[in-house]
Amino acid sequence: MSNGITIFVADDHPMLLKGLVDELKEFNYNVVGKAENGANALEKIMVLNPTIALLDVEMPMLSGFEVVKKCKEKNIETKFIILTSHKERGFIHKAQSLNISGYMIKDEPFIELHKCIQSVSKGIPYFSSVFNDVVDNEIRPQLQKIKLLSPSERTIVRLVAQGKSSKEIGEQLSISSRTVEKHRANIIAKLDLAPQTDSLVVWTKEHKEFLATI
């Protein structure tokens, strides 16, 4: 066995699941269980308590992210590696917010997953180069800009995301719509957006994953 590491695998594509399990076994990993949907994965992980669980993101019944969240709420000691085709900012930011141990892209060679498993088993997170690129070039710069917003500006961003007009925001916050417009102009400048009136609305739609941090 590979360092006594126990592995659980979940993917809703039977052929991909079988191929992954076979590869893991070739590397002498002890695959203690597998599942083709999130609910089954959650149930088995709670019983088996594997060292590491490899989870696809999009699965029936519960997503991989939902499985991770529920396991963490129950203080399950299993480490989680997301194995997915998704390279989009929203997925990567969600994985980051769940404090997962690894994030690997399915089209990478298996040796990369092996390196990830070995690293995670030693308590060291390991992420795909795609994950790191998105964090460094897309997520972190946006979070740094968001930190520049004042509490009042953050409140206004949340209300803009809800589709409220400057007049409606002013009425809710008991300030004039002109004051709201000044805040919006400051927010647009801090987020480095184009100076159009609807640019903040567009930003909130394109960056929904950041709204929880605002």
User: CB pairs under 8 A, 24+ apart, for 191-199?
Assistant: 191/145, 191/146, 191/149, 192/145
**Cα within 13 Å of Cα(205), Cβ side:** 6
DSSP 76: -
Tokens of 55: 């989870």
Please report the domains of the chain, with CATH numbers, ordered by start residue. Answer: 6-139 (3.40.50.2300), 148-213 (1.10.10.10)
User: What pLDDT does residue 3 have?
Assistant: 66
Task: Reply yes or no on whether the pLDDT at 44 is more than 60.
Answer: yes
- Cβ–Cβ under 8 Å, residues 65 and 57: yes
Mean pLDDT of 65-86: 92
Percent of the chain with pLDDT over 90: 58
Q: Tell me the whole-structure pTM to 2 decimals.
A: 0.79
> In whole angstroms, how far apart are CA 25 and each of 29, 44, 188, 196, 212?
5, 19, 53, 56, 40
What mean pLDDT do residues 55-69 have?
92
**For residue 2, what pLDDT is reported?**
60
Q: Cα 127 from chain centroid?
A: 12
* Helices 177-190 + 151-161 axis angle, to 10: 100
Across the chain, what does the average pLDDT equal?
90
Q: pLDDT digit string (tens) for 89-104? A: 888 988 988 989 999 9
Helix/strand/coil for 124: coil
pLDDT at 168: 92
What are the tens digits of pLDDT across the range 176-209? 989 999 999 999 999 999 887 789 999 998 888 8
Q: How far apart are CA 90 and CA 210, in angstroms?
A: 9
213 pLDDT more than 80: no
Which of 1-5, 72-76, 134-138, 176-180 has the least mean pLDDT?
A: 1-5
- pLDDT by residue (tens digit) across 109-151? 999 999 999 999 999 999 998 888 988 988 888 889 999 999 9
- Rounded Cα distance between 151 and 12, Å, is 43
**Quick one: pLDDT at residue 208?**
83
Q: Is the pLDDT of residue 1 over 60?
A: no
**CB 188 within 8 Å of CB 181:** no
The pLDDT confidence band at residue 34, using thresholds 50, 70 and 90, is: very high
